[in-house]
């Protein structure tokens, strides 16, 4: 299905969303009765708090929107959430309380693999439908049939995640022959590094450095020096926000150069890190989920971002909203549609709907396989280009986060070399 057909196929839902963003009055009957309570944990403190707060704001925007449109099943919705402090050990207790004490009607996940996986046993035990946000393979062990995951990595992350990075590298002349791989010793990063090894082997690219560092690492100079000694053509990092900043700082201080550098770094997507690094990001080729390029201008996305940004600063959330927020809003759209199609709060019926048909959302049309992953992976690789200083406004414009992969969303061409000349 081409992208224009996809846009038309979810036009009705997108039109309703855009109308609510624009402030048009809904013709729906006002919601009434006891609210439908949606429970979840979310990182409002700790290392993942930036993404947690921005995702929460997007979920709250959805809550306001659906209540303005008459609610869910004719009833208002209420979000019930607790701070998991970016600590997976807190998650099982929170979901047990939500389900056994608070008696919530529906559940969604926290942000990220490390905070989704600990919830799964509780969810499965209670038989709840479960829509997660930016997890990676969290349902592989359980094979739970009532789950869906809002994440572009797809079912074969260990193979596909780094594919875009190496596909982009094919544009280099001469072709790259060596790669260095380094990343955080955590589930997401280890999967990303495994994918990098797989893709390098498929292309006959030699891995000249390969290391996972512990979460306690604060000095990344030894890693960068070792990579520098190996003189790789490509450098693939798989990191979380704190270590992404540390790695890029060490790269700059030690003057590491490569034909292409970046990879599966989580961090440059975040507003605060964009502001911190500014022009130092130029020529970084990095995994992402969305970029404000014309090729990803899905129906409803711009309207959502305008609405989100209008309240983000006052709420203490990241002001650009280009990473977790669009996916978090889509998470709620999928929940809304699954419940509406089921016509009730029956968890088995909702779970079945998650796999029956596609879902139009502000990030495109989504379809989930039997494990709840996207049928078609959509790992986006962008290159930061032409950044001047640290002004955040430039990141709202096309041409700064140029999409190089996948081909159907490509919006520019690779600028070789890191750092930028």
DSSP string, 28-51: SPPP-SSPEEEEEEE-SSSTTHHH
| Per-residue pLDDT tens listing for the chain (421 residues) | 333 333 333 444 444 444 444 334 445 678 779 999 999 999 999 988 889 999 999 999 999 999 999 999 999 999 999 999 999 999 999 999 999 999 999 999 999 999 999 999 999 999 999 999 999 889 999 999 999 999 999 999 999 999 999 999 999 999 999 999 999 999 899 999 999 999 999 999 999 999 999 999 999 999 999 999 999 999 999 999 889 999 999 999 999 999 999 999 999 998 999 999 999 999 999 999 999 999 999 999 999 999 999 999 888 788 999 999 999 999 999 999 999 999 999 999 999 999 999 999 999 999 999 999 999 999 999 999 999 999 999 999 999 999 999 999 999 999 999 999 8
Under 8 Å between Cβ of 203 and 256: no
The Cα angle at residue 141 between residues 116 and 342, in degrees rounded to 5: 65
A 10 A CB-CB count for 398 gives 16
Q: Is 370 helix (H, G, I), strand (E, B) or coil?
A: coil
Q: Any idea what DSSP says for residue 418?
A: B
Q: Which three-class secondary structure state does DSSP give residue 64? A: helix
Residues 402 and 33: their CA atoms lie apart, in Å, by: 47
| Angle, in degrees to the nearest 10, between helices 11-21 and 324-342 | 120
- What is Dmax (Cα atoms) for the chain? 67
Is 56:44 a contact under the CB 8 Å cutoff? Answer: yes
pTM > 0.85: yes or no: yes
Report how far residue 378's alpha carbon sits from residue 157's, in angstroms, rounded to the nearest whole number. 11
List Cβ neighbours of 4 (8 Å cut-off, separation of 6 or more). Answer: none
312 close to 318: Cβ distance less than 8 angstroms: yes
Residue labelled with tokens 């992402």: 288
Radius of gyration, alpha carbons of the chain: 21
Residue 174 backbone dihedrals phi, psi, to 5 degrees: -75, 165
Which residues are bridge partners to 211 per DSSP? Answer: 182
- Rounded to whole angstroms, how far apart are CA atoms 359 and 5? 14
Domains assigned to the chain: 3-156+295-366 (3.40.50.2300), 157-294+379-409 (3.40.50.2300)
Angle between helix axes 324-342 and 301-315 (nearest 10 degrees) is 120
Is residue 19 within 8 Å of 60, Cβ to Cβ?
Answer: no
330 vs 280: CA distance, rounded Å = 31
SS3 123: helix
């Amino acid at each position: 299905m081409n992208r224009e057909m996809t846009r038309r196929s979810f036009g009705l839902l997108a039109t309703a969303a855009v109308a609510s963003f624009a402030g048009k009055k809904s013709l729906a009957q006002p919601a009434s009765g006891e609210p439908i309570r949606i429970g979840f944990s979310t990182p409002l403190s700790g290392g993942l708090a930036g993404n947690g707060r921005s995702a929460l704001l997007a979920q709250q925007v959805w809550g306001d929107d659906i209540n303005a449109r008459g609610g869910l099943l004719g009833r208002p919705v209420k979000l019930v959430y607790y701070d998991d402090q970016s600590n997976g050990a807190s998650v099982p207790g929170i979901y047990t309380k939500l389900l056994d004490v608070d008696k919530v009607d529906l559940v969604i996940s926290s942000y990220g693999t490390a905070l989704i996986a600990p919830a799964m046993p509780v969810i499965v035990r209670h038989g709840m439908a479960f829509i997660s946000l930016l997890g990676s393979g969290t349902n592989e062990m359980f094979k739970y049939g009532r789950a869906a995951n809002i994440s572009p990595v797809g079912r074969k992350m260990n193979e596909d995640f780094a594919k875009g990075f190496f596909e982009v590298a094919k544009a280099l002349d001469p072709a790259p022959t060596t790669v260095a791989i380094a990343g955080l010793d955590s589930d997401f990063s280890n999967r990303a590094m495994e994918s990098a090894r797989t893709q390098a082997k498929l292309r006959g690219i030699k891995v000249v450095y390969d290391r996972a560092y512990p979460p306690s690492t604060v000095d990344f100079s030894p890693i960068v020096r070792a990579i520098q000694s190996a003189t790789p053509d490509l450098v693939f990092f798989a990191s979380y926000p704190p270590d992404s900043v540390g790695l890029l700082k060490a790269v700059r201080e030690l003057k590491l150069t490569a034909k292409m550098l970046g990879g599966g770094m989580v961090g440059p997507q975040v507003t605060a890190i964009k502001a911190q690094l500014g022009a130092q990001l130029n020529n970084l080729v990095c995994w992402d989920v969305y970029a404000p390029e014309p090729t990803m201008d899905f129906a409803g996305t711009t309207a959502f971002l305008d609405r989100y940004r209008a309240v983000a600063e006052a709420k203490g959330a990241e002001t650009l909203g280009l990473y977790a927020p669009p996916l978090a809003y889509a998470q709620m759209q999928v929940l809304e549609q699954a419940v509406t199609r089921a016509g009730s709060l029956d968890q088995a019926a909702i779970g079945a709907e998650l796999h029956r048909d596609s879902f139009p959302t502000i990030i495109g049309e989504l379809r989930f396989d039997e494990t709840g992953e996207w049928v078609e992976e959509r790992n986006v690789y962008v290159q930061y280009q032409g950044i001047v200083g640290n002004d955040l406004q430039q990141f709202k414009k096309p041409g700064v986060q140029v999409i190089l992969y996948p081909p159907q969303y490509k919006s520019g061409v690779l600028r070789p070399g890191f750092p930028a000349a």
